[in-house]
Chains A and B, each alone.
Chain A
Amino acid sequence: MPEAPLLADLIVHHRATPGALLPLLHAVQDAFGHIPSEAVPAIAEALNLSRAEVHGVITYYHHFRQWPAGRHVVQVCQAESCQACGSRALTAAAERIFGCALGQTRADGAVTLEAVYCLGLCAQSPAVQVDERLHARVSEAKLARIAQQLGVQEVAA
């Protein structure tokens, strides 16, 4: 793995923390964008866990990725409050605008479209998060503008 020294640093930094696994996995994902499978043995060894235990934790939590995401991550809230304000239709629009299905990364790697369950913006539903940015009261037109600002080209379905 090319970034092995960085991983080693992260391990050194976190290994003494009580309950270190989650903080370490967060640090690895923040650094690499996902948790590379090559990192698992090193993490397991450092924390005195089996690889299966580490793998079990990575796959249990929705937040952790085993593979890199697209260049942009678009998350559309699917929970009740957003449903009450049209998130189903908005999700369909997002699939059209970004050219990929919910839970998928587009073939050209431009976008990963994901479900999210509540962003805490329920008084201004429907809500969307694009990369690190939150958007409230999102309409189809607003979503199209966001796609344009990201420079995401529509792909033919």
Chain B
Amino acid sequence: MSTVQLFVPRDAAALAAGADEVAEALQAACAQRGVTLNLTRNGSRGLLWLEPLVEVVTPHGRIAYGPVQPEDVPALLDDAHLLTGGFMPEGDVSPSPRPSPTRGEGAMHSKPLSPCGRGVGERGQHTSDDMTVVAHPLRHGVTEQMPYLVMQERLTFRRIGVTDPLSLADYEAHDGWAGLRKALTLTSAELLHEVTHSGLRGRGGAAFPAGIKWKTVAHAHAAQKYVVCNADEGDSGTFADRMVMEGDPFMLIEGMAIAALAVGATQGFIYIRSEYPHALAVMNEAIERASAAGFLGENVLGSGRTFHLHTRKAAGAYVCGEETAMLESLEGKRGIVRAKPPLPALSGLFGQPTVINNVLTLAAVPFILARGAQAYRDYGVGRSHGTLPFQLAGNIKHGGLVEKAFGLSLRELIYGFGGGTRSGRPVKAVQVGGPLGAYVPESLWDVPLDYEAYAAHGAVLGHGGIVVHDDTANLAELARYAFEFCAAESCGKCTPCRIGSTRGVEVMQRIERTAPAGAAPNAAQHAQQLTLLRDLCDTMQHGSLCAMGGMTPYPVLSALNHYPQDFGVAAAPSPQPSPTRGEGAQTQRT
């Protein structure tokens, strides 16, 4: 048999699901069978409930199998003919498939469709060239035709899971460096115009237009300027930055190099959280390879322009994701928030003009340069242009990465992509935008995902993280957790956040103790504590220096306003919540 090309991801999510063990099992089993294996460790396609997702290259495309565990490997090779992608010449179905004891009938033809599984291109069991397809419960057909992927609009993530993350040749073969090469032919003004015209806004939370930020830095006068990439990604429910760094590190390098050209920076830093050792290792290796190949360094692609790039490992402080705290940390200090002004764009790292952008913001730039600003701008709705990599997490059946243009709805994401809860119970609350984001009730699941539309409803898109909770969740407990998190992570610089968060925990404890309301003699106390809670939130929201204290009221108040029964405000929580939860009454209580 000739060489077989397989892909087994090396993304942390795949590793956590056992990808290394699967790769070893495949190698051992192939060696045993005398098959030469060409095994590429790719990034993850983002269908995370199917990790480890093994792919095999066939004349019909790449065929996906997942989730594969090491013990599945012998049966996948012998019965499911994984090495040919399950394609067998018509009439030649030897060796006779042994029914696999663990996987049902496992073998031929008939099988239940896996949820997001069978490729649309594989309607029947016969292909055009007289081949038979050997079905298997773990076989999902042609990867690119899987509905979860077909329904997406992948601009930033178009290479991730497809290529070898650390192969410069692979990157180049998939449009790599086209944006940087284009950028080198443009003036700074032209570059700034492209990025501004694309409509790209910061993907790290605040959604500030990238072009305007870059312009401020470009026009500042200084001997030294910096580009800093915020890869702190501390929000629960987010993993897109990690996937970019682990799955397509050259794209981030390219984006940062373009930013450096646009503003005149010669030094760059990527601040990576310490919880992401795999991302850090991949970025370090990628920087080394890109430098050796002339994409970074003294003379970028022979242009005479200089850009040096370094990584910095964070140290486990959530607030260091806030840009000024991050600068302090990069300077070797405690990561305490700086008052603005001055803006980091004018006085940033070591007091010099600095562009600070999120990983996804910078990663979108190569596409914008390569395909043109208008191509990016054409995606999206209103003032939210382009795509957002949504991250489906929490209690969800098909959790993963969904890159879509702005404007789809939460309902489409939760049910169309996510398949509802993993527990099979009704969805109760969805936190959008990380720990500082609001809990969004069912009445708002049809609002288009767009920065302005969400803001109008007192919610935020943030980083695009979506955490689903089923009906066993207690929103009062989650509100208390929001305060606990703020108390643990507050930088301590301002009183509303430092003291307010601790008082918030106490008020929540009293509310939980005195609920349900109406039960004398607690009712008056309970009502008083609720008033106190709102007052406290008001103080934190309006008196805090940064969004840590300023936005902790979002999860708290949204929980109280939309799920009052959990705070003992509604008469009594019904023991059997309705499965549809269509009744808007509860959501209008306050």
Contacts and interface: CB of A to CB of B under 8 A. Distances in A.
Contacts of A106: none
Contacts of A19: 312, 330-332, 350
Contacts of A127: 16
A103 to B, nearest CB: 12
B400 interface: yes
B8 to A, nearest CB: 16
B275 to A, nearest CB: 6
Which 6 residue pairs spanning A and B have beta carbons closest together?
Answer: A123-B399, A21-B332, A122-B393, A61-B315, A79-B236, A63-B316
A34 to B, nearest CB: 13
B454 interface: no
Interface in B1-41: 12-13, 15-17
B469 A21 contact: no
A63 B334 CA distance: 13
B471 to A, nearest CB: 11
A85 B422 contact: yes
Contact of A119 (B275, B318, B481): B275
Interface in A111-140: 116-125, 127, 132, 134-137
Contact of A80 (B236, B315, B331, B396): B236
Contacts of B330: 19, 22
A122 B465 contact: yes
Given A84-B467, A84-B468, A120 B48 contact: no
B435 A123 contact: no
Contact of A123 (B49, B275, B334, B335): B49
A124 B335 contact: no
B391 interface: yes
Contact of B16 (A56, A63, A79, A135): A135
B315 A63 contact: yes
A12 to B, nearest CB: 17
B472 to A, nearest CB: 9
A68 B103 CA distance: 46
Contacts of B481: 80, 83
Interface residues of A, number: 40
Contacts, number: 144
B445 interface: no
Given A62-B315, A120-B242, A85 B395 contact: yes
B394 A134 contact: no
Given A61-B315, A117-B485, A118-B238, 19 more contacts: A20-B332, A21-B333, A25-B315, A60-B335, A80-B394, A80-B467, A84-B395, A85-B395, A117-B236, A117-B489, A118-B234, A118-B236, A120-B275, A122-B467, A123-B392, A123-B396, A124-B49, A127-B16, A132-B277
Contacts of A92: none
Interface of A: 18-23, 25-26, 47, 53, 56-57, 60-64, 79-85, 116-125, 127, 132, 134-137
A28 to B, nearest CB: 12
Contacts of A60: 317, 334-335
Contacts of B275: 116, 118-120
B51 A124 contact: yes
Interface residues of B, number: 57
B233 interface: yes
A22 B16 contact: no
A47 B333 CA distance: 12
Given A63-B316, A85-B395, A56 B334 contact: yes
B391 A122 contact: yes
A2 to B, nearest CB: 26
Nearest to B437: A80
Given A56-B334, A62-B317, A124-B51, A134 B16 contact: yes
Given A85-B395, A119-B275, A123-B396, A136 B318 contact: no
B469 A84 contact: yes
B329 interface: yes
B312 A22 contact: yes
Contact of B393 (A18, A57, A64, A123): A123
Contacts of A116: 275
B478 A83 contact: yes
Nearest to A82: B236
Interface centre among A22, A57, A81, A119 (most CB of B within 10 A): A81
B470 interface: yes
Interface string B233-255: 11111110010000000000000
Contacts of B478: 80, 83
B67 to A, nearest CB: 10
A47 B394 CA distance: 44
Contacts of B394: 80-81, 84-85, 122, 125
A124 B318 contact: no
Contacts of B127: none
B274 interface: yes
Interface in B452-494: 465, 467-470, 473, 478, 481, 485, 489
